[in-house]
Chain A
Amino acid sequence: MPASGIEVLFEGRNLVRLLGGLWTSLWIALSAMAVSVVLGLPMGVLMTSRHRLVKLVLRIYLEAIRVLPQLVLLFVFYFDLTLVTGVNLSGELAALIVFALWGTAEMGDLVRGAISAIPRHQYQSAAALGLRPTQVQFHVVLPQSARRLLPLAVNLVTRMIKTTSLIVLIGVVEVLKVGQQIIDRNRFDFPDAALWVYATIFLLYFLVCFPISRLAQALERKLDL
């Protein structure tokens, strides 16, 4: 009887290897996200400052990162920057740098949006109560912005994880690459392996991203009440 192909997943360590490949992507995504949060917070605060030049520079950074597909940025860093600077970047490191740059820009914009959404009377009331500008920021503006920011930042995590799937195009051995290896290895025993392997990878991404999206939605609803 010809095998349907689903058995290929349970041959040897295939499933474990797929999970290992997924972890490579997740590890890069989560590291880039951590950098983005750390750098994006001050960036967003600076984007709401009164200094024209600071605002202009950050705006240009944001738009320059945003206008191009992330894959193009990845190519420029992976192929070109290494040529120009002579520094040899691994695919993982190039990806980490690019996604951190992108994430910082996106996070900065989310923080800017959250701060801008604070009504002006909050500032005025705080000032009327005698708070100094730094106190207004730390005790009035930032705590309220954080509540608005949280669901959006959680959502950015799923976008980051989905974006990280691009690293297969610069030769990082991640879940899709491991999947290809498994399919090629079992070409003769399980000719239909591709269907099951790619369906599994699809499902794995869904299982990772769905709970995070749900968390973001729940936070958003909780905030509305």
Chain B
Amino acid sequence: MELSVLRAYLPAYLQAAEATLAIAGLGLVGSTLLGLVIAVAQYFRWPGARPVTAVYVELSRNTPLVVQLFFLYYGLPKLGLVWGSGVCAVVGLTFLGGSYMAEACRSGLEAVEPHQSQSALALGLGPGPALRHVVLPQALALATPAFTANAIFLIKETSVVSIIAYPDLVYVAKDYIGNDYNTSEALALLVAFYLVILLPVSLGAAAWERRLRHAGFGD
């Protein structure tokens, strides 16, 4: 392993790490919003919500992200929907993550006892404020362990986006392996960068969970 090679590659990896984090962050926000909407729609039994969300959840959970991305990036343009690789990556991650986040939020919502929302309504809160101020804060605390597990899962899943030519960490590593044959250096940096991203997230998630449990929420 050549130290000078590692140093020469570093800037490209830093840039790629930024690209990876960008889609991971946006994908996470998208998944969480989608998941929350689905869970709330199911919780309040919005008309038509059940069948529509059920079909989406099953499609999302029973297909691999790679296949979802191929369809979005290479298939949809034939219908006139042309998206760049970054948009496809975020849409794909949201499509995948939304169902996992919906499940996390659903279990959180169902774990909040019904008398909580009944009491809020009895105190004169409208359905919206009761949801915002009473049910959701408790449900989200209960959903935290599942949420953090999903977040780590989604960050790891971003590693496949190079198949739709998004310049993430894997893309850069493949580039250097193919062009320079510096396989060991390229892969060492790849592993190191993922560890730098993922280890703090994993450890932070564990610490956060402990704090929530300490506050009397976690179980």
Contacts and interface: CB of A to CB of B under 8 A. Distances in A.
Nearest to B68: A202
A146 B169 CA distance: 40
Interface residues of B, number: 38
Contact of A205 (B62, B79, B173, B184): B62
Contact of A202 (B71, B170, B190, B191): B71
Nearest to B169: A72
B159 interface: yes
A82 to B, nearest CB: 9
Interface in A145-165: 158, 161-163, 165
Nearest to B187: A80
B61 A71 contact: no
Contacts, number: 107
A165 B64 contact: yes
Interface in B176-190: 177, 183-184, 187, 190
A61 interface: no
B67 interface: yes
Interface of A: 5, 67-72, 75-76, 79-80, 83-84, 158, 161-163, 165-166, 168-169, 176, 179, 183, 191-192, 194-195, 197-199, 201-202, 205-206, 209-210, 213
Contact of B195 (A67, A76, A162, A163): A67
Given A72-B191, A79-B183, A209 B74 contact: no
Nearest to B163: A169
B120 interface: no
Interface string B176-217: 010000011001001100110011001000000000000000
A202 B159 contact: no
A23 to B, nearest CB: 16
A71 B159 contact: yes
Contacts of A210: 58, 62
